[in-house]
Amino acid sequence: MINARRIALASVAALAWGGAAQAADLPVKAKPVSYVKVCDLYGAGFFYVPGTETCIKLGGYVRVNAYLGSSGGAPYAGAGAGGTNAFSNRQQTKDFNFRTRAWLTADARSQTAWGTLRSYYALQFTNSGPGDTSTGTAVPRAFIQFAGFTIGRTTSAFDTPDANSSLTNSITTQIGGTTSSSGINAFQYTAQFGGGLSATIAVESSDQRRFGVINASEAGNFFNFTTAGTVTNSSLSGNSGTGIGSSWPEFVANIDITQKWGSARLVGALHNISGDYYTAGALGAGPGCAAGTPATCGRPGEAWGYAIAAGFTLNQIPGLPGDNFGVTVGYTSGATGYAVNSLTNVAILKGSQLTVGGLADGIYVNNSGVEPIRTWYATAAYQHRWSPTLRSSIFGGYINVSYTGTAKGWICGTGAGAPAGASPTTPAGTGFAGVTNCNPDFNFWQLGSRIFQWTPVSNLSIGLDVVYNRYNSAFSGSAVTPAVGPNPAGVRTLGGNDVWMVGLDVRRNFWP
């Protein structure tokens, strides 16, 4: 009996000792974890940064495009861009192009006594080829918003609701100087008046809006159709003008109303078009003007251009729920960058048919002031929703580019101060001769359709665009041009040409 008690006590002691030993081996209780919490202050997709009152949303997309007759969504280089592709030959023309692009975005917001403090950025990664050279990394958005101010890289205050004809899949509409894809560096202030009414004033960078101010006294400076197989304009290199510093920013303002029915905007901009120095050795150069020291030659006085536009979109069309419609009209004088997008010089050669056109903000010769180049334009787009997952659209636009009588006289050699050797048959700086009708004016129109945009599952879209472009030059009759690549020198018929584009777009948006 005594032995039985001893055995039982020993067993209890052993269990107690073993339990104590195991308890000593257990880890210390973990501290509470601060889990990510949903932030519903700013819409879907936001969450609180742990340990802060800042809400953030991450997003982006992957997009793959295939283009026929197009480079990066615009008509192939040369049909508005001055490259060799537009000379329609087997050696130089690259009709088919791929582009793969990814965006990564971050949107951070927090509440302050001054309202919402917001910062936003987007990183863009692009790989393209063979005719599209836009491969690389870019930052199309990076801005801070606070107390009505937007500071950084954002969309221009001039962009109207339909400026980019957003009812396309992947085709770049060349009419209307939008900055929606690349952004622009700006310092903007927006005042809210209630009811969706607001007004914005802005100081913006001039690099994307400046189309150069041409000194026609310099050989080849208006429009140089070269034997190397390209169409160039030295004044337009980098859209900054030859040696012209950035003396002034862009001054932009708008009035906007945005409501459930849609939106409308009236915009205006002031744009500096002051010229570079006069040219030594050319007609009209000032006394003491010496080659190599252009500052001794004098220059045109300060000059300003301007742009105005108005546009609207309708989100509610009676009897057509889900359909959209938008229109933009505009006029520029010496501010061509507000009227065009991905369009500089025009040169298209198909067989013996040649279309040419030069774009700039203004033109001058030695001992003269700057003559502005003027444009007027209109765009429109309409979208129909067939079902929740299928939609189509039609879009188009027209732009007219005109030179003043004085500027035409300089180019065509009929006005006072025209460059030496210029004549109606040998226009200044064109690189071709034997012209039967000299007139640098031209127009361009575009009509296209997003044949379909199909969304088979959430955040995935597949679409197809077909676009017709027509370029019409006021140069008419015939001209003698040099050899262009494998194309021989010879007499060309001056007039209009067309370009067809087809674009396939596959896009996957991710969270959200």
Q: Is the pLDDT of residue 319 over 90?
A: no
- Output the pLDDT for position 213: 86
Query: Which of 302, 275, 277, 297 is CA-nearest to residue 287?
Result: 297
Q: Is the pLDDT of residue 93 over 90?
A: no
- Output the pLDDT for position 124: 94
Q: Is the pLDDT of residue 240 over 60?
A: no
- Output the pLDDT for position 293: 79
Counting the structural domains of the chain, the total is 1
- Output the pLDDT for position 13: 44
- Output the pLDDT for position 220: 61
Q: Are 95 and 87 in contact (CB under 8 A)?
A: no
**pLDDT mean over 410-421:** 86
Residue 10 lies in a domain: no
Residue 25 lies in a domain: no
pLDDT in tens, 274-308: 888 887 765 556 666 777 777 788 888 889 999 99
CA separation for the pair 460, 61 (Å, rounded): 10
CA separation for the pair 282, 410 (Å, rounded): 13
Beta carbons within 8 Å of 132's beta carbon, 6+ residues apart: 67, 71, 72, 97, 98, 99
Residue 18 lies in a domain: no
- Output the pLDDT for position 157: 96
**pLDDT mean over 11-40:** 56
Residue 37 lies in a domain: no
Q: Is the pLDDT of residue 106 over 70?
A: yes
| Structure confidence at residue 224 as a pLDDT band (50, 70, 90) | low
CATH number at residue 193: 2.40.160.10
The total of other beta-carbon atoms located within 10 Å of residue 272's CB is 22
| Structure confidence at residue 454 as a pLDDT band (50, 70, 90) | very high
- Output the pLDDT for position 85: 66
- Output the pLDDT for position 197: 97
DSSP 237: G
Terminal Cα-to-Cα distance of the chain (whole angstroms)? 77
- Output the pLDDT for position 223: 64
Among 18-32, 323-337, 356-370, 374-388, the minimum mean pLDDT is found in 18-32
Averaged pLDDT of the chain: 82
**pLDDT mean over 463-487:** 87
DSSP 168: S
| CB neighbour class for 502 (10 Å; exposed up to 12, middle 13-18, buried from 19) | middle
- Output the pLDDT for position 286: 62
Among 229-233, 357-361, 382-386, 498-502, name the most confident range: 382-386
**Tokens at 28, concatenated:** 């210390």
Q: Is the pLDDT of residue 21 over 90?
A: no
**pLDDT mean over 176-195:** 91
Residue 28 lies in a domain: no
Q: Is the pLDDT of residue 326 over 80?
A: yes
Q: What predicted TM-score, i.e. pTM, was given to this entire model?
A: 0.86
Q: Are 140 and 153 in contact (CB under 8 A)?
A: yes
E runs forming strands in 413-489: 442-457, 460-481
CA separation for the pair 10, 96 (Å, rounded): 89
Beta carbons within 8 Å of 122's beta carbon, 6+ residues apart: 60, 103, 104, 105, 139, 140, 141, 142
Higher-scoring residue by pLDDT: 193, 173:
193
Share of the chain above pLDDT 90, in %: 43
| Structure confidence at residue 125 as a pLDDT band (50, 70, 90) | very high
| Structure confidence at residue 219 as a pLDDT band (50, 70, 90) | low
3-class SS of residue 296: helix
- Output the pLDDT for position 235: 38
Query: Parallel, antiparallel, or unpaired for β 213-215 and 362-364?
Result: parallel
Q: Are 474 and 440 in contact (CB under 8 A)?
A: yes
Beta carbons within 8 Å of 107's beta carbon, 6+ residues apart: 46, 56, 57, 59, 118, 119, 120
- Output the pLDDT for position 402: 96
Q: Is the pLDDT of residue 23 over 90?
A: no
- Output the pLDDT for position 9: 40
- Output the pLDDT for position 232: 45
| CB neighbour class for 410 (10 Å; exposed up to 12, middle 13-18, buried from 19) | buried
| Structure confidence at residue 352 as a pLDDT band (50, 70, 90) | confident
Which amino acid makes up residue 157? A
Q: Is the pLDDT of residue 28 over 70?
A: no
DSSP 93: -
Residue 26 lies in a domain: no
Write out the residue range of the structural domain in which residue 148 sits. Answer: 59-510
Higher-scoring residue by pLDDT: 426, 199:
199
- Output the pLDDT for position 234: 39
Q: Is the pLDDT of residue 71 over 80?
A: no
- Output the pLDDT for position 120: 97
- Output the pLDDT for position 170: 62
